Amino acid sequence: MTGYDVNGSVVEHDEEGYLTDIGQWTKDVADIIAKAENIDMTDEHWVVVNFLRDYYDEYQIAPAVRILVKEMTKKYGKEKGDQKALYALFPYGPAKQACKIAGLPKPTGCI
């Protein structure tokens, strides 16, 4: 088992880079995971990451991309809830990559 180096301490992740213990997530951890994914976190990235964390908190699952797009549209309007815009922020898949940065498990229903 390997981990992210966060200010000298190790935060464990699985073979795909998802945190082993969601409780270890902090904003610093998010920045470090993002760096490993070659993503520069902007406010727009944070909107998605925070949305996913809220969704997980409420429903105990990480939503599939389709659901993420639908719910983001409902909450923030068409501009943010746009699949293309989300892929521009997270090129390897908004649900997959943003969930990883949010410290959540791999999305259920993600094929």
Residues 10 and 57: their CA atoms lie apart, in Å, by 24
Binding positions for another protein, 29-68, rule CB under 8 A: 58-61, 63-64, 66-67
Task: Kindly state whether residue 78 participates in binding another protein, applying the rule CB under 8 A.
Answer: no
Please identify, using beta-carbon distances, which residue of 1 and 111 lies nearer to another protein.
111
Copy the structure tokens of residue 22.
């969601």
Residue 73: CB atoms within 10 Å: 15
- Least CB distance to another protein at residue 54 (A): 13
Is residue 26 a contact residue for another protein (CB under 8 A)?
no
Q: For the CB of residue 71, give the shortest distance to another protein in the complex, in Å.
A: 7
* Binding residues with another protein: total (CB under 8 A): 14
Binding to another protein by residue 108, rule CB under 8 A? yes
Q: How many other C-beta atoms can be found within 10 angstroms of the C-beta atom of residue 16?
A: 8
d(CA 81, CA 100): 19
Taking the least distance from each CB to another protein, the nearer of 59 and 92 is 59
Instruction: Report CA-CA distances (Å) from 94 to 40, 66, 70, 72.
Output: 14, 10, 13, 12
Contact set with another protein (CB under 8 A): 58-61, 63-64, 66-67, 70-71, 74, 108-109, 111
